[in-house]
Amino acid sequence: MRTLLLILVFACLCISACQKASYEDLSKSSNNSFPASLSKLASANVSSLSSSQACRLPLQQDVKPDSILVPTRLGASLTGNPYAVANMQQASLNLYGTDQGIVANRKYIRYRPTSLNQMEILAESDLDLFDYPLDQEVEEEGDYYPQPGLGENDLPWPYTVVDVSYQPITGIPYEELARVYIPDSDVYLEDEAFRLTGNVISPDDCSGTTPAGSLNGDVSSALVDFQCAPGYYWDADQHRCIPDHPITPPPPPPTSQPAGMIRVWDNSVGERGVRRTRVVLRRFLKIDRVYTDDNGNFISSKRFRNKVNVIVKFKSTQLTTRGLRGVRFWQMLFPIKQAIGKYSGNLNNFPPYLFTSDRLGGDARNRNWWAALLMNAYLEYNEHAAALGVSAAPNNLRILLTNWHDAAGGGSTPMNYLRTNEDLPSQAYLQQFVVSPLTAWGAQAYNSFYNGNAALRGMDMTPGYNTVAQWNSDKVKQLMFHELSHASHYSRVGQSWWNSFVYSEAYAIFANGINSPNSPYGTGNDGLISDYISLAESWAEHLGRTIADRVYGLNSTAFWGQQSMWYSNNQFIAGSSHVNYLENFDPNNINDPFRWIPDGIYYDLVDARNEGAPVIDNVSGYTNQQLFNAMGSDVRSLPAYRERLLSQNNNNLAVQVNELFNSYHH
């Protein structure tokens, strides 16, 4: 009896596993769109990988001087173009019995710009461009790709993939390399097209071998150990299960949807997400662009198989960061980026990538760390400015992170991109804030800038990260908040006012000498020039430190101030080192060459503390919104500002306000 039962069970198993089902039976099956053999593989894959993380192979160096450019190294090329429409149609016929109306949905193209002007137009077009062909593996993402026949000063062919309806930019030479079909989510179809064209589907794990039954390896070989599902038969020539009847594509495995987190180390408060920053994912011609959320998380809208290259571009819908890149000036038109790795395995669970810096000066890792902090600083500034009733920094900012500054660090905000006036700052201004002509490549960049090339016209702001000591995060961001306060001020007063302000600082630098103790602001004795500088710089320092205090509070770190002393939390008043600097500002401190710029005057208008001599502060109750509203295109000095502030606020505490301004010598 027991033997007979075993025979019956074995017979039932053979029938269920080996016979072909009728179309009617297949259509009634709840799994008719996902073959049982693939279901088995998928469940095995999900159970083994759902809690695991993807593995990462580094793609780009970051521990190197950023003035030393490393070439991109490419590997094997695709054969037979698996993305060609005919190949995708055949793959669909093999899998599903129909080509499912597959037609070209993308174009693989390249441009051939003939001038920096044309390259600038391409950069502003917001295409994700690559200076290497996209049908090859990338072994190492570098700073440039040495395209055959081009020298280091020649403009490269930028490659990209666009929608089939895309219209090329008029006037720039353009070449359509192929019309292709790229499936956004059908990873099985993509694998079959790769198999048809003889492209090996590479392993997906860090050891270099594909786990048995893994959906992320070669599906055709993974199916060898499984019986075909009802409605399928085994094709010995193709070594795969072939459907009897057309079916819809099976759902992609959840592990094929890239998702992860981009973080930045903030040494004042710990790890933070890099916010609303572009992430580009690429596997050959398949490209997706996503943005991180406010926690640094991102998820792709497409599905990728096997390895996917991930590039973080320090760019958002509101600003773009750029960097000095040596003699290849065209690179200054594009955002700073870091290829963070080639990922495989469970793509839905990337390990968090952390931007950090244990480096100094002009190092790529240090530059990237500053860029990541800047992406967050822009959003934090706007959020706190709104809470204070102050205008946000404008959209479409172009920020040039430069490795040339004096040892103390610094920045400038000439607003060259957003100003319609295309007059360039003076040579002295450029040498102070942007680049030293004393280095070989710096001299070329300097001459290029001064001759009005596109890279300089696109410069709104120039924070400098080449500092003599490693800065803490709150100090980095305070500099950025200071410069963003300038950008907000520009929005308030307009371009004519800002032209005069930029001219004033350029004059002060020229008159006092590059990097002299009195550069870039002068001595305070230059009439209207000093008036512009004292008003703009004092406001930016006040608002920048006010927002740094709101962001960091007592997590702020101590710093050495320009008044030749250290400032720390709870030092003179309860609060951060930033507000302690503002409250203890001394307009008579002879150790401070810029004591005539009254950094503390606005805080004294707001706070309730009477600090006594030398500052007579009997004023309180003004708000930052009232202070900002008193700025105007016709307000060009602190005395004029005082009059506007009082007239707009019913002469509130007029006697005390006048006493305060007089004690600051304004």
pLDDT at 630: 98
What topology is assigned to 254-317+336-355 in CATH?
Answer: Immunoglobulin-like (2.60.40)
Could you tell me which residue, 635 or 225, shows the higher pLDDT?
A: 635
Give the separation between CA 174 and CA 461, rounded to whole angstroms: 32
For the chain, give the percent of residues with pLDDT over 90. Answer: 58
pLDDT at 68: 81
Give the separation between CA 414 and CA 138, rounded to whole angstroms: 38
**CA torsion angle for 618, 624, 627, 628 (degrees, to 10)?**
170
Q: Which of 424, 405, 429 is nearest to 508 (CA)?
A: 429
Q: List beta partners, residue 321.
A: 399
Q: 118 phi and psi, to 5 degrees?
A: -65, -35
pLDDT at 621: 94
H/E element, 651 = none
The model's pLDDT over 558-615, given as tens digits with 9 standing for 90+, comes to 999 889 999 999 999 999 999 999 999 999 999 999 999 999 999 999 998 877 778 9
Are the C-beta atoms of residues 606 and 649 closer than 8 Å to each other?
no
Per-domain residue ranges for the chain?
26-42+52-243, 254-317+336-355, 364-663
* Extended beta strands in 494-637, E state: 559-561, 565-567
Please give the structure tokens belonging to residue 118: 């044309």
For the chain, give the percent of residues with pLDDT over 70. Answer: 78
- Residue 540, CA distances (Å) to 169, 408, 623 in order: 40, 18, 16
Q: Around 411, how many Cα atoms within 13 Å sit in the side-chain half-sphere?
A: 31
Taking 50 as the threshold, does the pLDDT of residue 44 lie above it?
Answer: no
* Residue 141: DSSP 8-state: -
* Residue 262: DSSP 8-state: E
Q: What share of the chain is helix, strand, coil (3-state, %, to 5)?
A: 35, 15, 50
Are the C-beta atoms of residues 176 and 159 closer than 8 Å to each other?
no
- pLDDT (mean) for 342-362: 88
H/E element, 107 = strand 106-111
Taking 60 as the threshold, does the pLDDT of residue 636 lie above it?
Answer: yes
Q: 530 phi and psi, to 5 degrees?
A: -70, -30
**CA torsion angle for 152, 158, 159, 164 (degrees, to 10)?**
-170
Q: 45 phi and psi, to 5 degrees?
A: -70, -45
Q: List beta partners, residue 271.
A: 265
The model's pLDDT over 126-145, given as tens digits with 9 standing for 90+, comes to 899 999 999 999 999 998 99
Taking 70 as the threshold, does the pLDDT of residue 38 lie above it?
Answer: no
* Residue 332: DSSP 8-state: G
The model's pLDDT over 515-540, given as tens digits with 9 standing for 90+, comes to 788 888 999 999 999 999 999 999 99
